[in-house]
Amino acid sequence: MSEDIYMPGATTVGLVCKEGAILGSERRYAYGTFVMSKVAKKVFKITDNIGIGCAGIIGDMQVLSREALAYMNIYEYERGRAGTVKNAAKLMANLLSARRLFPYLAQTIIAGVDNGSPSLFVMDPIGSVLEDKFAAVGTGAEVAMGVLESEYREGLSVDEARPLILRAIRSALARDISSGDGVDLLVITEGGIKEESHSLVKAKSE
């Protein structure tokens, strides 16, 4: 049976910028040629300064985000301080690695800000962890990564990074039939997390 039946398409991207980090994903949830939903959420707030973006099975994304939220709350209660982005990445890696023989079908990007310093980690379904300045996962990742590779630069402001994220996702939507129907963003700064929604029409005007 085709692997596409088990791994729905998606395009999820993230990058770090001068004031923080941004995660973004389109909203389509498709199995092959069948679109199950046009409002699927694939970016999630974990703490006041950490978010995750996923590509894969929606149920697996939701379970992982809930588990991460619960464990990060426990960490803060026991240690008396909020967990860092690196703590969240290691936690997610452990959750994924523990299921490596029957893995969650989700690729994950974790990003956030610790004491004014933004960071981003990307991981595969069995828990490999890589730190980077930008990343893309999902069936549209190759196209989105091409845009990020050519246009990303150190020291981008949030206002400069937002349209770059939108351009990267929009480029993937033009080539990946499994991605589409608008974009959700998490804009993460030291002041907190702001959730935004952008229609395709609005994204084209960016």
pLDDT, one tens digit per residue, over 17-44 is 999 999 999 988 877 778 888 888 999 9
Q: Is the pLDDT of residue 202 over 50?
A: no
Active site residues: 11
pLDDT at residue 125, rounded to an integer = 87
Quote the CA–CA distance of 155 and 157 in Å, as a whole number. Answer: 6
Full residue range of the structural domain in which residue 122 is found: 3-205
pTM of the model: 0.89
| Axis-axis angle for helices 141-151, 158-175 (nearest 10) | 140
Lowest-pLDDT range, 81-90, 105-114, 115-124, 171-180? Answer: 171-180
Cα four-point dihedral sign 206, 154, 22, 108: positive
pLDDT, one tens digit per residue, over 102-155 is 888 889 999 999 988 999 999 988 888 999 999 999 888 999 999 999 999 999
Q: Find, among 12, 21, 196, the residue nearest to 111 by Cα.
A: 21
Kindly report the CATH number assigned to the domain that includes residue 58: 3.60.20.10
**Integer Rg of the chain from CA:** 16
Environment class of 1 (CB within 10 Å of its CB; exposed 0-12, middle 13-18, buried 19+): exposed
Quote the CA–CA distance of 160 and 135 in Å, as a whole number. Answer: 17
pLDDT, one tens digit per residue, over 43-53 is 999 999 999 99
**Contact by Cβ (8 Å): 33, 84:** no
Average pLDDT of 168-191? 89
Provide the pairing of β-strand 29-31 with 34-37.
antiparallel
With a CB cutoff of 8 Å and minimum separation 6, the contacts of 42 are 10, 12, 25, 26, 27, 53, 54, 55, 58, 61, 184
* Number of domains composing the chain: 1
Average pLDDT of 53-79? 92
